[in-house]
Amino acid sequence: MTSSRTNPEGPASPEGPVDPEGPTDPEGLTGSAAWELLLPAASAPARARGRSLQAALREAVRSGRLAPDTRLPSSRDLAADLGVSRGLVTEAYEQLTAEGYLRSGRGAGTWVGGAVRAARPRARDLAPRSPDARADFVPGTPDLSLFPRAAWAAAQRGVLAELPHDVLGYPDPRGLPRLRTALAELLARRRGVVADPERLVVVSGVAQATTLLGFVLHARGTRTVGVEDPGSPQHGALYASAGVGTVPLPLDEEGLAVGPLRASGLRVVVTTPAHQFPTGIAYSARRRAQLLDWARSVDGLIVEDDYDGDFRYDRAPVGALQGLDPEHVAYAGSVSKSLAPGLRLGWLLVPESLADEVVERKRTMDLGHPTLDQALFARFLERGDYDRQLRRCQRAYRQRRDTLVAALEEHFPGAEVTGIAAGLHVIAELPEKYGPARRSTSWNARPPPASRCAPSPPTHTRAWTTTRSYGWSWGTRSSLPDGSVRAYV
């Protein structure tokens, strides 16, 4: 049986009684590709047969196998062909007509409606990946092969065995008390913050922390915030999503320049004082004090993005700015560099004056972070697994930084590596003979997008045409693939 495409109103009946379902198509569906979708439904268990038939017809229309304006066989004919009761087919037709997949009229038969559009045949993956690259020089990119699978799996098994049932309900929007307590201890010990668990909010990474603050600041009347220039391009987009604009503020050798900040009239500024991205500098003690003086003088807020503050290779990490004045600094961090960005797990520590508003915004945004993930990470912290992971990453990244610096010196004599020995990238100033900067993938080296580390020309005069930012996420190798550094200048 093959379906036909004719006048949707059906042919006129010159005389005689009219079949309430309209004229019957003698071919039906048996000759069409859609027929194959209905056969399994007809053989389904009796109690599920009706739902299966509806689902099969729905999928045939949705996928385009039954095109719009295709006439379907009468319920009597289709039931006979499938070997099911007519009532089952009639119920399926009525249900799909009510949903808009089919249309029918007395004496006109049943037809495929025109409101449905064929679904996409596959889901696309928009995640930034480069599976063919032997060396990944994108700055700030962690090596995901260092993820502690065995320890994570053990923590997951332990949590599933011990977690009370009621914890699986809607959580405190701030996060599980167990995790906030463990995080407060970790941050106070490793980063020197003043960590009150009551003002600590578990978030989906620094991106959500930034957006939360943006919404709260916007509700308070703030329309612009200051950002470092050069700096992370993500800050501008995230604040814009909350209706807050950004004003670029220049840097000098000590950090964010305070003079332009004071002259701007702003009351909120976003900073990366432990290891500025992309210049690689750490804010000096003098500049940190100046920033805090500014915040106190205008009753302002400093947002501290501590995106790789744990990774310092030449000395112990400098403590977070928040520890000096927790009422004027909002502190954000995550496990994206130490574990994996795909976990979407981070924290936001806010001044008391903002705490209630941030928590309420978090509640309305997503009702809180997934409780299983929180309980798992809390156990990971309590058992010392996270400290072990940080030490493992620090050893690996220090070795790779040393390898990269040596390779730059070998292949580009006269190259000068600037910035502190920290984080997941270095800045290399190359001699003029190697500029202007260019990209090459002929050696399977993945360079960073130029916009990731390019300042706005009007506010920064450094010769960035011969300055490049290199990361070191190249798997478990202790040495770089041959030619990869030379390929990417």
Q: Are residues 326 and 398 in the same domain?
A: no
Contact assessment for residue 254 and residue 276, using Cβ atoms and an 8 Å cutoff: no
Who wins on pLDDT, 251 or 35? 251
What residues contact 417, with CB distance under 8 A and at least 6 apart?
405, 408, 426, 427, 428, 429
Tens digits of residue pLDDT in 59-117: 888 888 888 888 999 889 888 888 899 999 999 999 999 999 999 877 788 999 888 77
Mode of pairing for the β-strands spanning 416-418 and 425-429: antiparallel
137 occurs within a structural domain: no
Q: Are residues 2 and 74 in the same domain?
A: yes
What residues contact 331, with CB distance under 8 A and at least 6 apart?
187, 193, 304, 306, 320, 321, 322, 348, 349
135 occurs within a structural domain: no
Residue type, 418: T
Residue type, 402: D
Most confident of 6-10, 104-108, 181-185: 181-185
Q: Are residues 417 and 357 in the same domain?
A: no
370-396: average pLDDT: 96
What is the pLDDT at residue 7? Answer: 39
Q: In this predicted structure, which of 116-125, 166-175, 253-262, 445-454 has the lowest mean pLDDT?
A: 445-454
Residue type, 35: W
Q: Are residues 86 and 233 in the same domain?
A: no
431-446: average pLDDT: 51
What is the pLDDT at residue 448? Answer: 46
What is the pLDDT at residue 445? Answer: 44
Q: Are residues 162 and 262 in the same domain?
A: yes
Strand partners, 103: 111
The residue segments making up the domain with residue 447 are 390-487
Q: Return the structure tokens found at 213.
A: 């603050």
Q: Are residues 211 and 244 in the same domain?
A: yes
**Axis-axis angle for helices 233-241, 205-219 (nearest 10):** 50
Q: What's the domain count of the chain? A: 3
Angle in degrees, CA 4, 7, 10, rounded to 5? 90
What is the pLDDT at residue 426? Answer: 84
Tens digits of residue pLDDT in 115-128: 877 666 677 888 77
Say yes or no to pLDDT of 36 above 80. no
Q: Return the structure tokens found at 212.
A: 């939360």
Contact assessment for residue 8 and residue 111, using Cβ atoms and an 8 Å cutoff: yes
Q: Are residues 301 and 244 in the same domain?
A: yes
Q: Are residues 260 and 403 in the same domain?
A: no
Cα–Cα dist 209/348, whole Å: 6
Strand partners, 203: 346
Which of 95, 124, 153 represents a domain boundary (last residue)?
A: 124
322 occurs within a structural domain: yes
Q: Are residues 402 and 362 in the same domain?
A: no
Average pLDDT, the chain: 83
What is the pLDDT at residue 307? Answer: 83
What are the φ/ψ torsions at residue 427 (nearest 5 degrees)?
-105, 125
Which of 388, 416, 438 represents a domain boundary (last residue)?
A: 388
Q: Return the structure tokens found at 234.
A: 């993500």
Distance in angstroms between the alpha carbons of the first and the last residue of the chain: 66
Which of 364, 388, 412 represents a domain boundary (last residue)?
A: 388
Percent of the chain residues topping a pLDDT of 90: 55
436-457: average pLDDT: 41
468-474: average pLDDT: 61
Say yes or no to pLDDT of 453 above 70. no
Residue given tokens 């039954």 in the structure block: 66
Contact assessment for residue 352 and residue 223, using Cβ atoms and an 8 Å cutoff: no
CA torsion, points 183, 206, 457, 290, in degrees to nearest 10?
-40
Contact assessment for residue 431 and residue 466, using Cβ atoms and an 8 Å cutoff: yes
Q: What is the CATH number of the domain that holds 189?
A: 3.40.640.10
CA torsion, points 222, 227, 233, 239, in degrees to nearest 10?
-10
133 occurs within a structural domain: no
What is the pLDDT at residue 9? Answer: 39
Tens digits of residue pLDDT in 261-320: 999 999 999 999 999 988 889 999 999 999 999 999 999 999 999 988 889 998 888 999
19 occurs within a structural domain: yes
Count CB neighbours of 135 within 10 A. Answer: 26
Q: Are residues 57 and 81 in the same domain?
A: yes
Say yes or no to pLDDT of 23 above 70. no
441-448: average pLDDT: 40
Q: Are residues 72 and 165 in the same domain?
A: no
What is the pLDDT at residue 21? Answer: 44
Say yes or no to pLDDT of 382 above 90. yes
Say yes or no to pLDDT of 476 above 70. no
**pLDDT band at 173; cut points 50, 70, 90:** very high
231-252: average pLDDT: 95
**pLDDT band at 485; cut points 50, 70, 90:** low
Q: What is the CATH number of the domain that holds 42?
A: 1.10.10.10
Distances (CA, A) of 1 to 28, 72, 150: 4, 10, 57
227 occurs within a structural domain: yes
358-387: average pLDDT: 96
299 occurs within a structural domain: yes
Strand partners, 417: 428
What is the pLDDT at residue 481? Answer: 54
129 occurs within a structural domain: no
Q: Are residues 43 and 157 in the same domain?
A: no
